[in-house]
Amino acid sequence: MNDRQAHSARLQRALGHSFSDPGLLDLALTHRSVGGRNYERLEFLGDSIVNHIIAEALYHQFPKAREGELSRIRASLVRGDTLAKVARELQLGEHLHLGPGERKSGGRRRSSILADALESVAGAILLDSDVETCRQCVLNWFAQRLEGLSLENADKDAKTRLQEYLQGRNCPLPEYELLGVQGEDHNQQFQVACRLVKPTLVVEGSGSSRRKAEQAAASSALEHLGVA
């Protein structure tokens, strides 16, 4: 087994699926900046199947929840920053095929690219196997997040939950600082730091707007505190 094959084998173990057609996985990891065939079509397919799998899981997990509650919880799980975090946990960025410009600008760490790639990989698994195999993979990726859900927090965003957590412990409220903005006007990425005095913690988040970046940073702080 050469280095490339070993690299791919490690990723497949992390994903929980061994591909019959390795070319599908390779395509799922190919960003549009490479040119030619890329993961966009697989991303379209993966977006649909991930939404379906998460919706079905929530339907069974919360039998008494109203439609609006289920929709809000699902939205929190399938939004871009959450998908990007799952992709980072799977170390997906290390395996992406990017054009020279994206590599130089930090594309392997960019949340939007990681989120798209995770969806494209889900689409590739679906095509390589079947719905049930894809379902098991996706549920494993989201297992910890699904287990930590409660209807009590369904209506609350990450910033609100972090503020309530700190207030309940008589701790100072978090401070958010804009660190920078990257990209063209039509495709900007905002980077924000979230600082806690007690307990001492500094985390960062990124998003397509300052508000989304602050929410991503707050969500990261909650994860570090063990209450995400």
Domain CATH for 52:
1.10.1520.10
Question: Does residue 13 lie within any of the structural domains?
Answer: yes
Q: Sorting pLDDT into bands at 50, 70 and 90, what band is 228?
A: low
Q: Would the annotation count 116 as a binding residue?
A: yes
Q: What is the mean pLDDT of residues 118-132?
A: 98
pTM for the model: 0.71
Tally the domains of the chain. Answer: 2
Using alpha carbons only, what angle is made at residue 44 by residues 42 and 45, rounded to the nearest 5 degrees?
65
Q: In what order do the strands lie in the sheet with 189-196?
A: 175-182, 189-196, 201-207
Does 210 or 151 have the greater pLDDT score? 210
Q: What is the mean pLDDT of residues 154-173?
A: 85
Residues 164 and 128 in one domain: no
63 preceded by a cis bond (ω within 30 of 0): no
Nearest by Cα to 165 from 77, 81, 225: 225
Q: Would the annotation count 119 as a binding residue?
A: yes
Residues 174 and 62 in one domain: no
Residues 31 and 108 in one domain: yes
Question: Does residue 26 lie within any of the structural domains?
Answer: yes
For the cut 70, the answer to whether the pLDDT of residue 102 exceeds it is yes
Q: Sorting pLDDT into bands at 50, 70 and 90, what band is 155?
A: low
Of 147, 170, 187, the residue that ends a domain is 147
Catalytic residues: 47, 119
For the cut 80, the answer to whether the pLDDT of residue 4 exceeds it is no
Of 147, 175, 210, the residue that ends a domain is 147
Token pair for 173: 């409220």
Q: Sorting pLDDT into bands at 50, 70 and 90, what band is 1?
A: low
Of 115, 147, 179, the residue that ends a domain is 147
For the cut 80, the answer to whether the pLDDT of residue 154 exceeds it is no
